[in-house]
Structure 1
Amino acid sequence: MTALNKHVIGQDGALSWGTLGFAHPTLAGLELPYFDIHAPLPGPHLAIVAGMHPNEVDAMEAALRLKAHFAKKLLRGSVSILPVLNLPGLYSHAEFVCPVDGKNMNFLAPGDSQGSFSPVLVHQVLHEWAKDADVFIDLHGGDLREEVARFVMCQLTGNEAFDARTRELAHQFDADSIVEFAVGQTNNRGRATNELPWLGRHAVMAEGGANGVFDQVCIDFHFNGVANIGRLLGLTDDAPAGKTRRNQVVNNFAKVEAPISGRFYLDVAAGEEVAAGQRLGTLKDIFGDSAGELLAPYPGLVLMVVNHPIINQGEWLISLAPLPA
């Protein structure tokens, strides 16, 4: 049985597009938009996914622009693009999860062929659609209540040569920060960028955007980073985009959670450095009375903030990366 079913809608030179279906019965009826670009010369295969969280519009817009870029510039190899993975949540503006089963695909890698809709879809994308990819790129950034710094994530494995290549790929982005997850980290697992390297496959994840609205700076961040990777792989020969940001390397980040349900008044922004004990924001209860302050537990770089003032106890409010000593 063929695992993937492609319905080609159009073709223009090296570019073809249409809908992608899956033979797996759990995914019956799902048809994802796709783009394929093939050069006449053999070379590496680059796989690009966006829209795992369907309000992260800068990433999805960058994926569409990358389609046109590679259709024009590709000299060798191939590029495959899924511009919106969480199609069931697209028009309902679902935050974080797939409405079919209420699960967050971002933490389900490497997938499960025996699971519910979301883990099966992740499995099929990683192990069927992208199984031959030399590099897998997962683009994210800025759901409806989030402000996310422009940062990149990659997983180190302890294999020196493999990790050097992974770093090289991640550093093609001009980022506020590059999270090089250490070999022994366990609190940030389940993303494709964390799990594929343990299977010997290179993967990079990029974040950048805010509040589900277009931001040209963040669109360019995603676009330029992937275009630079294409050049590094030898797919194109265009000039690389330059770097102007700090590109601060960190090796993990942790959640700062809401201690109460109520109101939160942020004092910091994504991309900002904070000192240990610095106030991240103030808290008020549902009556508007003071409920204390939220303080930074260590010196860090703010990677993400929830910027909606109504919060739930235990909610992930801030991602804070410890700064090197």
Structure 2
Amino acid sequence: MGEDRLYSRDMVCHARGGVLSRFSWGPHAARWWGLVVILLAGVASARAPRGEFSLGPIVARPGTAASGRLPVPEGVDSGTFIPITLVHGSRPGPVLALIAGVHGSEYAPILALQRVRPLLEPARLAGTVILVHAANIPAFLGRTIYTGPVDGKNLNRSFPGNPEGTVTERIAYVLREQILRRADVVVDLHAGDANEALRPWTGYYAKHGTPEVIARSRELAIAFGVDHIVLFPMENLSFEKALYTGAAAVALGKPSFDVEVGGLGRATPEQLALIERGVFSLLRHLRMLEGKPSPVEHPIFIERRANLKSEVEGFFYPTVEVGQWVRTGSLVGYVTDFFGNRIAEHRAPHGGVVLVFFGTPPVRSGETVAVIGEVHDPAPAPAQAP
């Protein structure tokens, strides 16, 4: 069949902006008019202005950056704000949300975004980067761990949020509606809290979300460049049960992963540099910046974690270092009473890597004093002296 016969002899040819003409086909007309349509559509697209990007009162024009306070209105308790920077590239591309400070005393990611901000050149950027410098200002200024000082709630257990709830729930609601919904990719940046020592890792939801979102989240976690990657076990969380920042993003259909770097209230140059490198590797992977990304070449995937919980209160003494590999039965730490008598021990239930442990002495009953990520365990640990 000849190509000209694929079309009717009397057609209307549309392009951006309206009808071009009605005509009868002659030899090779389809080929030429098709080319005209493509060229005109391309010209119209090229001339279309790139619009502003705004979040609440913060507005960034194409090729510029803007910073400001995204308000969280007062309600049953006092209001607050979320400090935001918008870096709006000169060319179209995805919207990447980098969220630090969901827990107010996890300082390394908060300070890392301070370093990233002046390094992002809007003129070289495709797409838009949303920098959430400190999501939980009440906890940040209050220097509290895990929970906010006003209502005692954990922001990373408060999604999808509630506009009529307490301040932590209202922060979650604003983050969901203003940040998560606007983003194409969400990165939730954490550290060990002020009482936790932590080995750097990333993590994503391996069973929550569509297959496409799960695969994309995995790909992005690898692109960040940290070698240990935790597979979060939660399955198919409903919108109402997606309590974590990243889980809420996935429930909205957005690829997402967590980053965990830093701890014990510290932010070392090495930790800040690790986060900074990861952010720029991710930007290159997303083709928001030119250049080659630096993905991890040999990722270690952790499918199961053991949370060692204390059944007593007292003083916790770790006997391992973060990042150390342990065997089944290895002593991870012990608890003494207030007079120095050993009253409890914590041993690894399986072989693996020490991801987190309490790095400060106080421990209460029910608290997680250490986390072991399961990896290959070649043999049982030898007996250890009490």
| TM-score, normalisation: structure 1 | 0.88
Q: 1:169 aligns with which of 208, 220, 224?
A: 220
Q: 2:272 aligns with which of 219, 236, 239?
A: 219
Q: 1:268 aligns with which of 320, 325, 349?
A: 320
Structure 1 counterpart SS, 2:128: strand
Are residue 305 (structure 1) and residue 357 (structure 2) matched? yes
Question: How many residues are paired up?
Answer: 320
CA distance in 2, matches of 1:97, 1:32: 16
Q: Deviations over 1:217-245 (max 9, x none)?
A: 2112222222211111111013434658x
Q: 1:110 aligns with which of 128, 138, 160?
A: 160
CA distance in 2, matches of 1:184, 1:254: 18
Q: Tell me how far 1:177 sits from its aligned partner.
A: 1.4
The 1:13–1:184 alpha-carbon spacing in structure 2 relative to 1, beyond 3 Å, is: closer
Q: Deviations over 1:13-60 (max 9, x none)?
A: 611112111457468642322111111211100111111122211101
The 1:296–1:189 alpha-carbon spacing in structure 2 relative to 1, beyond 3 Å, is: farther
Q: Tell me how far 1:206 sits from its aligned partner.
A: 0.4
Q: Is the CA contact 2:160–2:242 (under 8 Å) kept in the aligned structure 1?
A: no
CA distance in 1, matches of 2:236, 2:320: 26
Q: Deviations over 1:181-210 (max 9, x none)?
A: 246499x96322233223311111101112
Q: 2:372 aligns with which of 312, 320, 323?
A: 320
| RMSD over equivalenced CA pairs, Å | 2.7
State the partner residue of 2:112.
62
Structure 1 counterpart SS, 2:250: helix
Structure 2 counterpart SS, 1:44: strand
Q: Is the CA contact 1:38–1:74 (under 8 Å) kept in the aligned structure 2?
A: no
State the partner residue of 1:133.
183
| TM-score, normalisation: structure 2 | 0.75
Q: State the AA in 2 paired with 1:308.
A: T
The 1:239–1:73 alpha-carbon spacing in structure 2 relative to 1, beyond 3 Å, is: farther
Q: Tell me how far 1:141 sits from its aligned partner.
A: 0.6
Structure 2 counterpart SS, 1:42: strand
Once structures 1 and 2 are overlaid, which stretch shifts more, 149-158 or 43-52? 149-158
Q: State the AA in 1 paired with 2:215.
A: A
Q: Is the CA contact 1:101–1:117 (under 8 Å) kept in the aligned structure 2?
A: yes
Q: Is the CA contact 1:149–1:176 (under 8 Å) kept in the aligned structure 2?
A: no
Q: Is the CA contact 2:201–2:226 (under 8 Å) kept in the aligned structure 1?
A: yes
Structure of higher RCO (CA pairs closer than 8 Å, 6+ residues apart): 1
Once structures 1 and 2 are overlaid, which stretch shifts more, 231-240 or 36-45? 231-240
**Mapping 1:68-83, distance limit 5 Å:** 68-71=118-121, 74-83=124-133
Q: Tell me how far 1:255 sits from its aligned partner.
A: 1.7
Q: Is the CA contact 1:5–1:23 (under 8 Å) kept in the aligned structure 2?
A: no
**Mapping 1:153-232, distance limit 5 Å:** 153-156=203-206, 157=208, 159-182=210-233, 184=235, 190-232=243-285
Q: 1:143 aligns with which of 167, 190, 193?
A: 193
Once structures 1 and 2 are overlaid, which stretch shifts more, 195-204 or 23-32? 23-32
The structure with the larger Rg is 2
Q: 1:41 aligns with which of 71, 77, 91?
A: 91
Q: State the AA in 2 paired with 1:251.
A: E
- For structure 2, list consecutive stretches of 5 or more residues without a partner in the other structure: 1-53, 378-386
State the partner residue of 2:329.
277
Q: State the AA in 1 paired with 2:213.
A: F
Q: Deviations over 1:70-99 (max 9, x none)?
A: 235742111111101111122331111111
Q: State the AA in 2 paired with 1:300.
A: G
Once structures 1 and 2 are overlaid, which stretch shifts more, 65-74 or 39-48? 65-74
Following TM superposition, where does structure 1 have runs of at least 4 consecutive aligned residues deviating by more than 6 angstroms?
none
Structure 2 counterpart SS, 1:124: helix
The 1:67–1:269 alpha-carbon spacing in structure 2 relative to 1, beyond 3 Å, is: same
CA distance in 1, matches of 2:236, 2:365: 25
- For structure 1, list consecutive stretches of 5 or more residues without a partner in the other structure: none
CA distance in 1, matches of 2:73, 2:314: 46
The 1:198–1:178 alpha-carbon spacing in structure 2 relative to 1, beyond 3 Å, is: same
Structure 2 counterpart SS, 1:95: coil
CA distance in 1, matches of 2:227, 2:63: 37
Q: Deviations over 1:138-179 (max 9, x none)?
A: 111132211111011111237433322111101122324101
CA distance in 2, matches of 1:78, 1:26: 34
